[in-house]
Amino acid sequence: MENSNECITAQGGDFSNLKFIAELPYYELIKDQNGELYAELPESSTKRMLLPIRGGGFTNYIRFMFFAMKDQHIGRHKVEKIQDQFEAQCQYSGRSRELFNRVGEFEGCFFVDGKEETYKISPGKWEVDPSPPTIFKHFQGMNSLPRPVPGGDIRKILNFANIPGRSDQLLLMTFLAGCFLPKIQHPILVLWGSQGAAKSSLLRRLLSIADPRSSDETPHYDEKEFLTAINARWATGLDNVSYISPQFSDLLCRLVTGAAFTKRRLFTDEDLIVRRLLRIIIMNGINLPVEKPDLMDRCVLLQMDRISNENRKEEAVLDQEFSAVSGEILGGCFDAVSRAMEIYPTLEITSPFRLKDYARWGTAISMALGYQADEFLLALKENVERQHEHSLDASPVASLISHYFVANPRQAKLQGTPSEIFRELDSIAGKAGISERQMPRSPRDFGRKLEECRHNLESQGYEISRSRGKERKLIIARPGGSQTPSLTTMPTLFSRLQPQQPT
């Protein structure tokens, strides 16, 4: 779109203070996927920048350019008139464009905003793009990425993560490399373990690779403030989380799946801004803070060991060591993603996992790192089983059902109306170590909580069914012949996990 200067007029014929617009460098008016309005302006000879028309940056740009061209100041009222006209012009004739925060996709390639430079990742290679497309929003507090090193090594992140086991280490590396995949649902990474496991240090270092900011603090006890903060970030860290309320748990689930959030544009009007947020979220805590099964399904759980005194280093020394290799780690991430872009189209995966795209991309990244085709899915499968175990431990209803069958070894089924089963389980709550405060308040509440943990119970071999009729019956059968198969007896899970030959 050419400069639309002829559309900007002044009332009463006073054009003198607006005439400078005709002399402005080339600009373009952009309307993003959420209906927010921007001006695309030159930043240098090769790069352009996006400024919200109603933002302070655009106001300062008008003031700066007017003074540079006219050698005089412009009043606030006339600045507002210019913004009003730009806003109207953009609203009805601005060019629509999808805009991103830190990581985006354009014409089949992935782009990463390093702030100082933009990196283009395409199948088989990545490079600095000297003339990148203008697809990124910039927010206050955004810092530059480390300078990525070609042929780097993502495995060096393991030197700063006290995570035992090849499978969990693979999950950490695929998660970190996966931070540079736009427009897919990413699981929440949960780091937990005893004091002295360096959980906070690892969280901070992961953020410094994926999305460095001047402050890692994110207010998460107020939904409005949290959404405002997370909108300005690509990756968000929640440090030392001890409890997640049911409301906040639901909010995190929506962020993983990319739900839309609305807010009023101004307090004085009824226009709404709709934002669809897909974000990277990392949290840590001494105890596992995630309890609700629906959030647990969207997590990768990594338990960290306490660092022994003889292996503990001063934080300043670790910071120096990490700074020396952070570029290699980032370069290793880009290498893995570029190779995964070649592998991804050749994979056909039938997977029971909730985040299907992540399972397929994670497999491609793990293969790009040199792992066998099924190793990532096996690691993810182990993690899902870990989720089921923790979900059952966290559910009073699941614990009561388990205790009932342990206390009644000859009883194959627990059946009756929901009210009868609720009374039966309520009578043994004290023996099972479940306090009155933890118990469901009514048969209806019991049915709701049973439904929440039903998937986890069935994964352990329980069978839950309901009969219809005049008197509704609930039947809970103990694990029997339908035990959950082990990893070594699951041939069907990976039977279709075979790279296809490119056509």
DSSP strands (E only) in 295-440: 299-304, 413-416
Distances from the Cα of 173 to the Cαs of 84, 178, 189, 201, 430, in angstroms?
Answer: 48, 8, 11, 16, 44
Q: Where do you find CATH 3.40.50.300 in the chain?
A: 154-386
**Per-residue model confidence as pLDDT tens digits over 364-419:** 999 999 999 899 999 988 888 887 777 777 778 888 888 888 888 888 888 888 88
Q: Tokens 């009374």 belong to which residue?
A: 423
Helices (DSSP H) in 395-472: which residue ranges? Answer: 396-407, 418-427, 443-459
**Is the model's pLDDT at 499 over the cut of 70?**
no
Residue-wise pLDDT tens digits, 442-472: 888 888 888 878 877 887 788 888 876 667 7
pLDDT at residue 239, as a whole number: 92
Phi-psi label, residue 375: left if phi above 0, alpha if psi -120 to 50, beta otherwise = alpha
Q: Are 440 and 461 in contact (CB under 8 A)?
A: no
Structure tokens, 45: 């000879």
- By the 10 Å C-beta count (0-12 exposed, 13-18 middle, 19+ buried), 388 is classed as buried
- H/E segment holding residue 102: none
- CA gap 230, 210 in Å, rounded: 14
What residue ranges of the chain are covered by domains with CATH 3.30.56?
395-477
pLDDT at 416: 86
Query: Which segment, 16-25, 91-100, 395-404, is predicted with the most confidence on average?
Result: 91-100
Q: Is residue 339 scored above 90 in pLDDT? A: yes
CATH placement of domain 154-386: 3.40.50.300
CATH topology of domain 395-477: Phenylalanyl-tRNA Synthetase; Chain B, domain 1 (3.30.56)
Q: Model pTM greater than 0.85?
A: no
Rg of the chain over all Cα atoms, to the nearest angstrom: 27
Per-residue pLDDT tens over the stretch 215-231? 777 777 778 888 888 88
